[in-house]
Amino acid sequence: MTQAAIQQPTTCNGFSLLALGDTVEQVTSDPSLARAAFAVRSEWKGAAKVESRVTGYELGGQSIAREHVIHSDEPRELFGQDAAPNPQELLFAALNACMIFGYACKAAAMGIEVQRLSIETQGSLDVRGALGLADVPPGMLTMHYTVRIKAKASAQQLRELHESVMALSPNRYHLTHPIELVPKLVIE
């Protein structure tokens, strides 16, 4: 057996296991390094069009510059021009992406190689709520999602992975728990 054959794998699911281990060690020994602060500035572009920008984030008190733009609009039937996904679709994408990252990353930590992974989320609302036309909630009470996974693991391990993501996904937490939203109105 060659030296290479007995070495531990250094990556799993595209993640560096060394980087994962280093981060775990760092945030465990100094919890102040574990604070991640995100910010998004969104600007109205007429009718239902919005342009949202990320210019950076903070990790462990350090500012890290990044540049990303997220466009949104509404479908034509809901007063937009359908130039981009709408806010509810962005929300579903945010939920799915967070959980998918959770499955892939936790699987890597468990030594499970994921071959295919997708999530489809669905939900409906009554637009009379948001329009203030009826005493119905403005949003969805329930969202359904289906996780499809193909991985080199037992059904038991995959159910354990599934339970872990349900417990630990940040955006799943944000939707299943009431978050305090603190507004400030500035009239210019």
Segment 79-138, which members bind a copy of itself (CB under 8 A)?
Answer: 79, 82, 84-98, 100-106, 114, 116-134, 137-138
Residues 136-155 that bind a copy of itself (CB under 8 A): 137-150, 155
Q: How far is the CB of 187 from a copy of itself (least distance, A)?
A: 5
Contacts of 92 (CB under 8 A, 6+ apart): 121, 123, 143
Residue 81's contacts (CB-CB under 8 Å, 6 or more residues apart) are: 47, 48, 49, 73
DSSP state of 45: -
Task: Output the CA torsion 163→164→170→174 (10° steps).
Answer: 30
User: Which of the residues 4 through 43 are near a copy of itself (CB under 8 A)?
Assistant: 13-16, 19-20, 23-24, 27-28, 31, 34-43
CA distance 121 to 117: 14
For residue 9, the minimal CB distance to a copy of itself (Å) is 14
Number of chain positions touching a copy of itself (CB under 8 A)? 127
The 158-187 site mask, x for binding a copy of itself (CB under 8 A), equals xx--x-x-xxxxxxxxxxxxxxxxxxxxxx
